[in-house]
Amino acid sequence: MKNLARGKFQHLRIAFLFSFSSLIFSAYGDTGADLKACLQNSNNTGVSVGSGLPGDPAIPEKSSGYKLGNKVVTSATYMAVTANPHATQAGCEVLSAGGTAADAAVAIQTVLGLVEPQSSGLGGGAFTLYYKASTKQVLSYDGRETAPAAATENYLRHISDTNQTNPLPTLSSSFSSTKASGRSIGTPGVVKMLELIHQDHGQKPWDMLFEPAIQLATNGFGISGRMADAIAGAKNDLLRDPDATAYFLNADSSPKALGTLIKNPDYAQTLSSIAKGGANAFYTGPIAQSIVNKIKVTSSGGANPVAITPGLTELSDLANYKAIKREPVCTTYRNYWVCGMGPPSSGGIAVAQSLGILENFDLSASQYLPTVVNSEGGKPSVAAVHLISESQRLAYADRNKYVADTDFVPLPGNGVSSMVAKDYLKTRAALISKTKSMGTAQAGVFSTATALGSSAAEGNGTTHMSIVDKHGNALVMTTTIESGMGSYHFTRGFLLNNQLTDFSFEPSDASGLIANRIGPLKRPRSSMAPTLVLTKATDGSRGDFVMATGSPGGASIIQFVVKTVVSALDWKLDAQQATSMVNFGAANSSTTGVGGEHPSIDLTNSGLNDPLLVGLRSLGHTVSYSAQSSGVSTIIRAPASWNAGLPTLWGGADPRREGIALGDSPF
């Protein structure tokens, strides 16, 4: 634990606190002061987040489906991009003080759990990739939730073997009922994962990194548009939990509104305990006991009590939880290496497969280039959306059938290497017709012994951060409580996840056992795809950092990430353009999604006036133009070949969320 070195770092700690509260940036930089660090660009005047001055991105605004006018942020040496201005600010200040990307991630996650509680927090899980500049290594960390040791194969769908009805409360679907019950709650992983990353890569004292969130929780912050919407949307569900009711709702049970100053002393207390005692203070002792008690709740209480099916999590589940360092999934894509998260996430394999299929086509040829390229990204061509969504159909078919927690169910063939092999993906690419959509793809055939059924479902309630530090290290972390407001179970200032609903509720289908069925201590399959791109050195080895990206969005994460990577690597868009670019893609069905929230999509006349939508229909795609809620955070250090003399780092925050990018030289 680095906090044992507290005395030694006391001067840094004081400098850090001083800087965070007073925003005097020169006070604590250890590699020279930068007076423009972490300031928001607004009419060429620096505005700091939280200052309350005009242009302050932390002033709560109504959330919008798409906020026009995000501009690429440029920076010389370091940068943080997250889905919330307070969180970006906290991370940027750690970087400004010479902290590593790992240090910044701790500050960012703890702030996000406060200001964006609907999307991630201490009660959830996460996956992280880390690029270590000194060795050019990419490491990956699994902080995914686990099913309790007592979980049986019917845990998510039946109250018990003798009462084979859905867990309670009874809501509109078996998914929502299970989500709101104790059965959906996996043992949280994010705190252990942060500790492991910090032990491996941190340079600042652990306890210092909790200060921004502790201060904000103690002094309060204005509820943002997305948080206000999330509270209002979940009001009836939050009302079943007295602790959630007390925090998120007013005394008359109305939802706390946009701009309301909200304080979370319980969260500050929880963070102080972890700051002092390390992750053990969360996984054992009074906090662990509160988590277990909350999971075991059987009734909402109150005047009209509603029954809630408890989960079977015990203190031993928490005490035994381990974050795991795993092999990342790294493949070459044209002149680059692309690295992603392996199982239990399907994200890395699916992105690698989709790109590996696309490598068989020249996406930089004129018919594939986007039009209307401006700071809102661009409008993709019919040919590009067709090809890319077909590649995704093929990738999702394999994902749905084969990918789950490989500690329980092996991948087919020789594992990841077979699934991303160039010759295999070439045979998959050959299945694509340029003139007609394949509709639904079949999974590839491997030398696998077991016949497997498929599962596809996932929810919504996640966030992504991308970070590059002064030392050249990069970190991408996608972090989640699964769907908005998780399981609605709230204790000690944070929400508990509903991540177990990412398992298949059914253990088998007509084709056999489902790889992603629930089992004791198993981790549910994810789609999260934190992604790092590196150059390919002349000898073919992994080279320098090029790009960090990722997104929330359930199973659509894979599509958001492929879109962003192709926009950057094939179409040479900058980090904001690639992030803002129209969302598009397909899971494995005949429906192809084109994000109707984007300003360049013409929704009039049921889309019949938009050549992209019309063109896709003529190729046999069933087109959906529903709004798509991505939350891409991207940093690019463009290689000299496409940098055109611009500053070193580009940052882009998704205009569909509330985030910003900040670095050392914003102007």
202 in Cβ contact with 96 (< 8 Å):
no
Beta strands in 49-112 (DSSP E): 73-75, 79-82
Among residues 342, 292, 112, 298, the alpha carbon closest in space to that of 210 is found at: 112
Question: Min. distance of Cβ 618 from ligand GLU in angstroms?
Answer: 32
Establish whether the linkage from the previous residue to 169 is cis, with ω within 30° of 0: yes
Handedness of CA 218, 293, 148, 186 (dihedral sign): negative
Q: Is residue 46 a contact point for ligand GLU (CB under 6 A)?
A: no
Compute how many residues bind ligand GLU; rule: CB under 6 A. Answer: 15
Residue 399 vs 471, nearer CB to ligand GLU: 399
CA separation for the pair 109, 91 (Å, rounded): 9
Q: Is residue 527 a contact point for ligand GLU (CB under 6 A)?
A: yes
Stretches 32-40, 207-215, 399-407, 551-559: which one binds ligand GLU (CB under 6 A)? 551-559
Q: Is residue 502 a contact point for ligand GLU (CB under 6 A)?
A: yes
Question: Min. distance of Cβ 661 from ligand GLU in angstroms?
Answer: 20
Residue 83 vs 581, nearer CB to ligand GLU: 83
| Binding residue for ligand GLU, selected from 553, 595, 607, 651, defined by CB under 6 A | 553
| Binding residue for ligand GLU, selected from 461, 493, 519, 607, defined by CB under 6 A | 461
Question: Min. distance of Cβ 640 from ligand GLU in angstroms?
Answer: 35
Stretches 14-22, 358-366, 515-523, 525-533: which one binds ligand GLU (CB under 6 A)? 525-533
Quick note: the x/- pattern for ligand GLU over 645-664, rule CB under 6 A, is --------------------
Q: Is residue 597 a contact point for ligand GLU (CB under 6 A)?
A: no
Quick note: the x/- pattern for ligand GLU over 270-309, rule CB under 6 A, is ----------------------------------------
In DSSP terms, 633 is beta-bridged to 653
Q: Is residue 124 a contact point for ligand GLU (CB under 6 A)?
A: no
Contacts of 495 (CB under 8 A, 6+ apart): 117, 118, 121, 123, 124, 244, 481, 485, 486, 487, 488, 489
Residue 486 vs 655, nearer CB to ligand GLU: 486
- Segment 75-114, which members bind ligand GLU (CB under 6 A)? none
Residue 527 vs 576, nearer CB to ligand GLU: 527
Q: Is residue 526 a contact point for ligand GLU (CB under 6 A)?
A: yes
- Segment 470-489, which members bind ligand GLU (CB under 6 A)? 480, 482
In DSSP terms, 139 is beta-bridged to 130
Question: Min. distance of Cβ 209 from ligand GLU in angstroms?
Answer: 25
Structure tokens at 562: 């492929």
The number of angstroms, rounded, from the C-alpha of 139 to the middle of its chain's C-alpha atoms is 17
Q: What are phi and psi of 533, to 5 degrees?
A: -115, 135
Q: Is residue 460 a contact point for ligand GLU (CB under 6 A)?
A: yes
3-state secondary structure of 215: helix
Residue type, 418: S
What is the residue whose two structure tokens read 């201590």? 521
116 in Cβ contact with 87 (< 8 Å):
yes
CA separation for the pair 506, 375 (Å, rounded): 45
Quick note: the x/- pattern for ligand GLU over 556-575, rule CB under 6 A, is -x------------------
Question: Min. distance of Cβ 86 from ligand GLU in angstroms?
Answer: 20
Residue type, 90: A
| Binding residue for ligand GLU, selected from 85, 552, 585, 593, defined by CB under 6 A | 552
Residue type, 112: L
Q: What are phi and psi of 28, to 5 degrees?
A: -135, 5
Altogether, the residues listed in the chain come to a count of 667
Question: Min. distance of Cβ 290 from ligand GLU in angstroms?
Answer: 23
Residue 89 vs 184, nearer CB to ligand GLU: 184
Q: Is residue 459 a contact point for ligand GLU (CB under 6 A)?
A: yes
Q: Is residue 348 a contact point for ligand GLU (CB under 6 A)?
A: no
CA separation for the pair 335, 60 (Å, rounded): 42
How many CA atoms does the CB half-sphere of 464 hold within 13 Å?
A: 34
In DSSP terms, 3 is beta-bridged to none
Residue 40 vs 480, nearer CB to ligand GLU: 480
Judged by the rule CB under 6 A, the positions of this chain that interact with ligand GLU are: 458-462, 480, 482, 502, 526-528, 552-554, 557
